Copies of this chain bind each other. A is one copy, B any other.
């Protein structure tokens, strides 16, 4: 179901004015601290009554100031993971998790509960109260609580910020499955481009309360103009590739538009489609096909644009097949190699550079088998 949002709201000294429409899947809400992300999400959840709002999920209209319609929060069926946990202090972790089905009288999904509890690693905490949990534990319970409320829209405000990499790596695939197996749109606030790129179908970029950009992830992420907003280090491109084979040495072979790619084993069977996020920083360029080198992935391509700012670096955009690849090199290298639009180059990408966190499964029918990985 697509999500259509249009919200205007004024605080003293801050004005939010954002409208966007995103297709099914995960929408990443991205923007610096104080740019209005939480305000926007609160307005969608109905916790803030904005001056002007229209929010629609699929054909469910949640709120429309023009019609004077505004569903109260509990009728919106929104699962909201708050930036600050907000667990019920008087209930145990288990009761917190079951709160949604309890108050709404919906059948509790025991299997779902077990799955979520395992994934979040909170099985040992079920009988504790939130007061005795660590910061990360609280946040995990909050995620579980929202997931188990059987929502029709998930709002997640920096859900993983307090978690370590290992835990993130466990939770992200679950969110992907949620995205792929269900029809539930997810609006995901994050500062981490890695998370965003992996999960998001669409990226909405907020700046000082204004919407700067809204579009498909690959496009927003590989827009060299947005690199400063996203953070140079995190700029990169997103490729779509099809799994062709799983090799015995733990590598998976994929076919991208630009050529053959080897990656550490991906939990998607042959024939499945995956999205790969390639950091611009991780791409090396070579004029000739390189020799005995540890990088397995060498994609031939053609330079389409070179953007360089005041710094020592330059952002080189290549076309490899019909995919766009961003490479960030030093100006000096660009000069040494004589790069210019039209130059034929080889993009060298290490297999291990495309880490698990940057790979997202994209095939709905196949995704279920993923559980066994």
Distance of A332 Cα from B163 Cα, bound (Å): 32
B136 and A312: CB pair below 8 A?
no
B262 and A332: CB pair below 8 A?
yes
Residue of B37, B167, B292, B311 touching A33 (CB-CB under 8 A): B167
- Copy total for this chain: 2
* A135 neighbours in B (Cβ, 8 Å): 33, 38, 83-84, 157-158
Stretch in A217-225, A283-291, A364-372 touching the partner? A283-291
Given A134-B34, A290-B290, the answer on whether A83 and B162 have CB atoms closer than 8 Å is yes
CB contacts under 8 Å to B, within A227-274, are 231-234, 247, 249-251, 262, 264-265
CB contacts under 8 Å to B, within A156-183, are 157-158, 161-167, 169
CB contacts under 8 Å to B, within A106-153, are 124, 132-137, 140
* A355 neighbours in B (Cβ, 8 Å): 232-233, 281
Given A250-B312, A291-B286, the answer on whether A333 and B265 have CB atoms closer than 8 Å is no
Q: A33-B140, A169-B231, A296-B333 are in contact. List 10 more A-B contacts (CB 8 A).
A: A33-B135, A83-B162, A165-B191, A250-B331, A282-B350, A290-B291, A290-B293, A292-B337, A296-B330, A328-B352
Majority SS at the chain A contact face: mixed
A353 within 8 A of B: yes
A251 and B294: CB pair below 8 A?
no
Residue of B34, B38, B124, B250 touching A311 (CB-CB under 8 A): B250
Given A286-B292, A328-B352, A352-B330, the answer on whether A164 and B249 have CB atoms closer than 8 Å is no
Measured CB to CB, the closest approach of chain B to A206, in angstroms, equals: 11
Residue of B164, B264, B313, B328 touching A231 (CB-CB under 8 A): B164
Of all chain B residues, which has the CB nearest A252? B312
Which residues of A are at the interface with B, using a C-beta cutoff of 8 A?
Answer: 11, 13, 31-34, 37-39, 83-84, 124, 132-137, 140, 157-158, 161-167, 169, 191, 193, 231-234, 247, 249-251, 262, 264-265, 281-282, 284-288, 290-296, 310-313, 327-337, 348, 350-353, 355-357
* A163 neighbours in B (Cβ, 8 Å): 33, 191
B294 and A34: CB pair below 8 A?
no
Distance of A281 Cα from B61 Cα, bound (Å): 47
Measured CB to CB, the closest approach of chain B to A167, in angstroms, equals: 6
B282 and A353: CB pair below 8 A?
yes
B134 and A38: CB pair below 8 A?
yes
Of all chain B residues, which has the CB nearest A231? B165
Measured CB to CB, the closest approach of chain B to A124, in angstroms, equals: 7
Distance of A337 Cα from B290 Cα, bound (Å): 13
Of all chain B residues, which has the CB nearest A293? B286
